[in-house]
Structure 1
């Protein structure tokens, strides 16, 4: 009996090796046998990852269209950016990492850069592309290691939590769940309003699906709420969800957004754009780093010394995709933490990423459906994204004022003023002031001092103090 038990794993390993070997060139290129996987397992992992992150095809256009961009073109740009990034990641890094336009950065792009600062979306695209170039330079040099070391954990967590909170607020406001109130400034929408009830139902349904680990929980939530919206009357007398003219159509090229960058505007307003360049650079770098650590750890792909294989290729791919994304017409492109779902399904190589790209290709044919998804359907998914962005609080020592005050200021000021730069500025300056007050001025990294100067200069320029 004992011998039979030992024989079973050996037989399974032999079967996996035989199946992988049948892949021939695929097995050699992606090292399927070396990583103990098969073509079938990689395809299943890719399908699982796509299901977990497919919500971005609906959410990203819904957000960025508020900047004045064509929503149908944004659906195509989103899918094409994901295809480009995921294919490049699979072929160059050979890791099961899927790539797509980043949540958080699209909100800052739309509501901070375009709607608040008044920058045309063409100039904003140029700024994102310029950030990608900087990130690529950092990725190919040792500077990225220094950047990762110099930015304090307090500021990283504060910025991420502030963006997460802003996402939640904007999502609920866009769905009509939060409305203006002359007495309290904001209040909850009336429950006599059917769209508010639909959003409330989604806020209850979506976390349950996520908590129950339902595959593709967010996209399922969006689909269910969109279908229900076909029968829910809106404020204008029409249904919340408009009936699409067709379910399938030939993919459309993002004509209005492709190569629409305004580089001249970026450089003529460079000082004003500088704080946001820092945000995009940090968001892109640390998001990718965290995803890379999480996914390779879950897949048991780290080397014995703890290093990550092909890390430089991952960062270079992420940066290149963030240059290609704005050329297509979307914001920062990054590796998705949802890739862990594919790893849990057995994904171990870049073939998983190529499978994700194939599903995004298929999604291009369904763009008429993604265009009609209402904000009431995307709001609950955005709330969950915002919640996940606040998980860094678990690593925060709130008894240390030098840690607690900057984070709280970043979060509250960002949301209450609806301005990320205000939050980042007060959080950074308070961090410097408190570190000095505690006699730890010598431990403040040079990058933080520089960032403090940038924020002061930004305030002087925008407020025209002098």
Structure 2
């Protein structure tokens, strides 16, 4: 990704902020960092609405989820800015929240308290991995076909769930799924959002996803949901309110479930671990490259601190009541606006803090307003497919199977398993046994055990 170098304001000189965050050294200034932080916040603020909308499907209180989402973003962004001094904003991850609510809780029947415990354990493992040399080893041993396949499968699942939640995709007894009726006003509202939102993003309108959600929510006040006079959007009882503590989700983790169902949850532990690890790695590479912050040898400055921040935030997130917390690729928008230091992340944290005082507004945002944002986010997660050589069946077949099996069976674990089995068999058949690394063999064993255990439970 190439970006044009922003016009820098005069760099700070002398003061404590300059020394602490290396403003002059990186050619930045306090006003420049503030502008960058505001830009990044606008690009990712949609998560305050989307994350609670998704995770509330697990039976969790949506109001508490709004607060937990904002608090997790505040903690992660502050820690990233203060410890890694990188312009990376941190918040609950898209993709992981879908897996949490729809795969773990709704499909597999895992209590959300047990699911939170599993995410926290993943954070602990990731922290240990981040502080050791195993990080590089794991990064090398998981092939691109599996990494990209998993990401693409989750992206497609995000699109499907967004459209289904808005009523744009409905059940059909003959074709299993079908498009909702265009005679339905909510379906028409969703369609308008699906068509217009990508245009806003493509035109690089600042805060495009947030703008889309806000406009569709307001329009929903005048769009009938049912014949009884109910509208798609209902006005909140108050627009401003003091932040409340997420009492129903705070420290609600159930570690006993994880212990008693270890083999069932093992593939999900692997998913969260790999998903967080490679997502963070890709974001670090992309953002530091756009900001020209990488060292002459190509290494990422303060990479260990950045990984440790992600891991720690993923431990804190479940304690508050949300899923995996990770660095957001939307941070690139702040870099394009001139962000070069951790001050950008701190400004993002301030943005999430201010959002705590309008939390009732985020609770009433309808699925028809968030669906277009989910479609765009899902498409972004599919962009890695461009790196797959589709003429090489050893790479193409696992990716396609992961994507299709995940969506058609509505089960991520099924897709991951079938894709992994296909990768192993194709590599062996084509004489590429060395491509099947110990990590891949271990993953194959995990999925075999998973299928054996789950088949006996059904």
TM over 0.5: yes
Distance 2:384 2:26 in 1: 31
Residue pairs, 1:58-457, within 5 angstroms? 58-235=49-226, 237=228, 238-457=230-449
Distance 1:169 1:308 in 2: 35
Distance 1:442 1:208 in 2: 45
Alignment-derived partner of residue 4 in structure 2: none
Q: Partner of 2:114: helix, strand, or coil?
A: helix
Distance 1:61 1:442 in 2: 43
1:160-192 deviations in whole A, cap 9, x for unaligned? 000000000010000000001111110000011
Alignment-derived partner of residue 5 in structure 1: none
1:55-76 deviations in whole A, cap 9, x for unaligned? 0000000000000000000000
Alignment-derived partner of residue 10 in structure 2: 16
Q: CA deviation at 1:148?
A: 0.3
CA 1:223–1:34 in 2, change beyond 3 Å: closer, same or farther? same
Alignment-derived partner of residue 35 in structure 1: 26
1:262-316 deviations in whole A, cap 9, x for unaligned? 0111111111000000000011000000000000000000011111100000000
Q: CA deviation at 1:246?
A: 1.1
Q: CA deviation at 1:235?
A: 2.5
Q: How many residues align?
A: 451
Alignment-derived partner of residue 3 in structure 1: none
Q: Which runs of 5+ in 2 are unaligned?
A: 1-6
Q: CA deviation at 1:236?
A: 5.8
Distance 1:40 1:221 in 2: 28
Q: Partner of 2:222: helix, strand, or coil?
A: coil
CA RMSD of aligned residues (A): 1.2
Distance 2:227 2:272 in 1: 37
Distance 1:323 1:135 in 2: 10
Distance 2:168 2:178 in 1: 8
Distance 2:457 2:285 in 1: 44
Q: CA deviation at 1:212?
A: 0.3
Q: Partner of 1:16: helix, strand, or coil?
A: coil
Q: Partner of 1:115: helix, strand, or coil?
A: helix
1:231-271 deviations in whole A, cap 9, x for unaligned? 00003630000111111100111000000000111111111
1:136-172 deviations in whole A, cap 9, x for unaligned? 0000000111010000000001000000000000100
Q: CA deviation at 1:465?
A: 9.2
Alignment-derived partner of residue 47 in structure 2: 56
Higher CA-based Rg: 1
Distance 2:226 2:210 in 1: 25
Q: CA deviation at 1:442?
A: 2.6
Distance 1:345 1:187 in 2: 42
Q: Partner of 1:436: helix, strand, or coil?
A: helix
Q: Partner of 1:251: helix, strand, or coil?
A: coil
Distance 2:373 2:183 in 1: 23
1:64-117 deviations in whole A, cap 9, x for unaligned? 000000000000000000000000000000000000000000000000000000
